[in-house]
Structure formats: C-alpha cells, structure tokens
C-alpha cells in the first residue's frame, strides 16, 4: 500500500488497498496514515453497505443515528446522504441540508464521533465537493493573545440551535428533550497526537460565562480564521471514492458548486463512535 500525501494542510490517498477485502495486514499502516493526515481516501472502491460497515468497524464501534431521510425514516447505521427528495428526484432543498455548513459530526452529542466514512455511489458531472478544515493547524496559527484569551473556555453545542438557525425547522419539544445541549472545551487535545485543536462548528450556540453576542462573535471570528484557504483540503468526488476523516480535529462541509436540482449526489455514510475519556481531556492534562 502507498500513502500519497495531498497536504499541506491535510489528507492523503491510499493506493494498493481494496477496502472490501480483509485488510488486517494493512491496518497498522492505515491507522498510522490516519493519525498523520487526518483524512484518507481510496479511489475506485466497490463497496456494499456490509463492506462499508466492516471496514469502518476496524476503527471502533459504529454509531446509530437520530436524523431522518427524505421519506421520514430514521437513518440506518449505513445510510444515504443525498440531494434526492422522497420521489428520488434531485432537490435544491434536500431533507438533510445542514451538511452544507461547517461542522464536526455529532458535536452536539456528549461523546462526539471519532470518524466519518463516505462512499460515493453517484456524483454530479462537476462539483459537489466536500471541504475539510484543519483545526489543529488553525489553532497553532493563532496569535499568543488569542490563545491566552480562549484558553479554558467552554462552549455549548446544541442540535436544536443548529436546527433553528440553519434549517429553519425548529425542533419539536420531544426532539429538544431527546437532544439536550452539551458542553465541550473550545480547545481539545487529540488523544493520538497530543496536539491542541479548536473544537467549533455549526452546533456552537454560546460560550459559557461570556455575554451571548460576544461569545457568538468570537466563535465566528475563530471559524472565519480556521476556514481560510491555507487550512482547507477539498475533496473532488469520483464515483467509487471511499473517504474517511477524523472528526476530532477537522470540520467539514459539502459545497453547493453544482446544480442540486438537476444532478444526483448519492453517498453512503457510516460514523464511528468516539470514546468518553477523550472528551474530558483538557489542554493542561
Ligand atoms: Fe457531516
């Protein structure tokens, strides 16, 4: 297996590996590349949902989901991310729309996810890219004054806040009770690299112990900083691409650089759970 770095800032292509087969022998090198590059992709894969599930399981336990597809069904563990409506036609306003905004998957959970994996089934003739921002490099590039200012800050992450501000579909009371806000440190320490990174994105509703406006302005400033071109890797999808990344130090978003109403974009997705002990680590521990 070859590891071909895309960076800086991040990302690498794996060649000479078929993720639908027994990759036990190659996993140590895959895990090493994952720690170093944060995002890996393999072209030309032919993956059933079972293959995707089995390959993702090599990184940890698989997450279940609360979100619903265009037909109203709760996502299965391996599920579709598409721009299709309930009739299967391309839609300019798909049921799941929030993936077009910067986020780390499941940051609104008490234990957010470790890794997300996507496999491209159908892609538009052009565009439909996904962008990834490196929050470790973004943190390192902050000036000393800003690092001192944000040291020790805690942030509320709220699924309900995201629904209100991004999708325009405020959650029902039942949904609110099922997904209460959680608190995470603004700076997280990566358990494998020991490096600090920002932990921000669309679920951030406020900074604790700070006036609401001031906290939201600071979060916007940090997001604008972290999503500058020098911190971004853009994945240009081809059919058969298998892409997986580290949610602990990256944020990502899909890009609307294609006509959502005209072309199909169909990806299969699975998410690997994080571990509770990673969340509690503060920069000083
Ligand atoms: Fe996502």
Domain ranges of the chain: 2-273
Ligand 1 centre to CA of 252 (Å) is: 6
CA dihedral 175, 275, 121, 89 (to 10 degrees): 10
Ligand 1 centre to CA of 99 (Å) is: 5
Ligand 1 centre to CA of 73 (Å) is: 18
- How confident is the model at residue 278, as a pLDDT? 65
> What is each CA distance from 18 to 14, 76, 108, 261, in whole angstroms?
10, 24, 33, 33
- How confident is the model at residue 279, as a pLDDT? 63
Ligand 1 centre to CA of 102 (Å) is: 8
- How confident is the model at residue 73, as a pLDDT? 80
- How confident is the model at residue 284, as a pLDDT? 43
Query: Listing from the earlier edge strand, what are the strands of the sheet with 266-272?
Result: 2-5, 12-15, 39-42, 242-246, 115-122, 266-272, 79-82
Ligand 1 centre to CA of 117 (Å) is: 10
CA 107, 112, 117, 118 torsion-angle sign: negative
**pTM value > 0.85:** yes
- How confident is the model at residue 275, as a pLDDT? 87
Between CA 11 and CA 3 the distance in angstroms is 10
Between CA 27 and CA 30 the distance in angstroms is 5
Ligand 1 centre to CA of 212 (Å) is: 26
Ligand 1 centre to CA of 68 (Å) is: 14
N- to C-terminal Cα separation, the chain: 36
Ligand 1 centre to CA of 120 (Å) is: 14
Q: What is the pLDDT along the chain (285 residues), one digit of tens a residue?
A: 999 999 899 999 999 999 999 999 999 999 999 999 999 999 999 999 999 999 999 999 999 877 777 777 878 899 999 999 989 999 998 877 889 999 999 999 999 999 999 999 999 999 999 999 999 999 999 999 999 999 999 999 999 999 999 988 888 999 889 899 999 999 999 999 999 999 999 999 999 999 999 999 999 999 999 999 999 999 999 999 999 999 999 999 999 999 999 999 999 999 999 987 666 554 443
- How confident is the model at residue 283, as a pLDDT? 46
Ligand 1 centre to CA of 144 (Å) is: 31
Ligand 1 centre to CA of 209 (Å) is: 28
CATH for 2-273? 3.60.130.10
Ligand 1 centre to CA of 271 (Å) is: 9
């Amino acid at each position: 297996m070859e590891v071909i770095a895309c960076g800086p800032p991040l990302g690498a292509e794996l060649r000479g590996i078929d993720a639908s087969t027994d990759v036990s022998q190659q996993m140590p090198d895959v895990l090493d590349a994952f720690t170093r590059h944060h995002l890996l992709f393999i072209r030309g894969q032919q993956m059933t949902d079972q293959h995707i599930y089995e390959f993702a399981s090599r990184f940890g336990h698989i997450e279940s989901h609360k979100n619903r597809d265009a037909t109203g069904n709760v996502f299965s563990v391996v599920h579709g991310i598409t721009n299709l409506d309930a009739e299967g036609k391309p839609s300019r306003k798909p049921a799941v729309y929030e993936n077009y905004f910067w986020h780390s998957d499941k940051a609104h959970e008490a234990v957010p996810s470790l890794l997300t994996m996507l496999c491209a089934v159908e892609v538009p003739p052009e565009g439909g890219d996904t962008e990834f921002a490196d929050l470790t490099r973004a943190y390192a590039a902050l000036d000393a004054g800003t690092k001192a200012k944000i040291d020790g800050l805690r942030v509320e992450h709220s699924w309900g806040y995201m629904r209100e501000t991004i999708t325009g579909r405020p959650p029902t009371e039942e949904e609110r009770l099922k997904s209460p806000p959680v608190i995470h440190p603004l700076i997280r320490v990566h358990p494998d690299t020991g490096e600090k990174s920002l932990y921000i994105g669309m679920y951030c509703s406020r900074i604790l112990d700070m006036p609401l406006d001031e906290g939201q302005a600071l979060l916007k400033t940090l997001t604008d900083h972290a999503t500058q071109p020098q911190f971004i890797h853009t994945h240009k999808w081809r059919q058969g691409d298998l892409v997986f990344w580290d949610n602990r130090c990256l944020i990502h978003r899909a890009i609307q650089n294609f006509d959502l109403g005209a072309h199909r974009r169909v990806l299969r997705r699975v998410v690997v759970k994080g571990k509770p002990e990673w969340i509690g680590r503060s920069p000083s521990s």
